[in-house]
Amino acid sequence: MFIIPAIDLIGGKCVRLSQGDYSSKKEYHDDPLEMAKRFEDAGISRLHLVDLDGAKAKKIVNGEVLERICAGTNLQVDFGGGIQADEEIERAFSLGAKQVTGGSIAVKNPALFEDWITKYGSEKIILGADAKNRKIAVGGWEETTSVDLIPFIKSYFDKGIRYVICTDVAKDGLLQGPSVDLYQEILQEIPNLRLIASGGVSSVKDLEDLEKSGVYGAIVGKAYYEGRVTLEELAAFNS
């Protein structure tokens, strides 16, 4: 199981939200590149970089940060937040992103998202499947749709998607444990999916439970920033 640290960006700084609530913002570091280098120096190879300003603006806002991290480290960066047009995904890749995550776009404009799967290939496009009560949530989680989570993922798997980041919004940022049962259910339905769990990790035990569930990767944010897990503990999963 890959450990994938998360850096969420508002105003060019590292922040975390709870359950997607922008008013719950807590700032952790004012230099995302320095934070990314810490992860790399610990032996971690991947980074989940989210442009929260971009998610609101529906276009890339923190592109300079993406470029600095990609130029200043060898981390494989997956980037998301506000990528809803051809010029935005092209820009993300030109700035150095190895993968791009599309969430809202996959719901709001499936034809365009399917074009991206075809154009860039299944190794470069990640489906962001965020759920509230097993329904897909979009727009920085401010809008819950009537779309059921597992059929939504399955439909895109059938169209070529192989990587999915699934966040249970009810768990995100609360340090109360991840939705292991939900991830197991998804993998029972779609066994060959490279499922990346996101939200709720609070301890090494949570990570061990996720690894046993068969997920491909686990995104860790607040648990690290709040001192619940160390870089050494995170890096041990990737060795």
In the chain, what are the domains?
Answer: 2-238 (3.20.20.70)
Any residues with CB less than 8 A from the CB of 91 and at least 6 apart, and which? 60, 63
Q: Tell me how far apart the alpha carbons of residues 22 and 5 are, in angstroms, rounded to a whole number.
A: 20
Residues in the chain: 239
Give 17-70 pLDDT, tens digit per residue: 766 667 777 888 889 999 999 999 999 999 999 999 998 898 999 999 999 999
pLDDT reading at 170 higher than 80: no
Q: How far is CA 179 from the centre of its chain?
A: 15
What is the maximum span of the chain, computed from C-alpha positions, in angstroms? 43
What is the pTM assigned to this prediction? 0.93
pLDDT value for 133: 86
CA separation, residue 195 to residues 94, 95, 178, 214, 225 (Å): 26, 25, 13, 8, 23
Q: Which residues are catalytic?
A: 8, 130
Q: Give the orientation angle of helix 110-120 with respect to helix 86-94, to 10 degrees.
A: 30
**What SS3 class is residue 158?**
coil
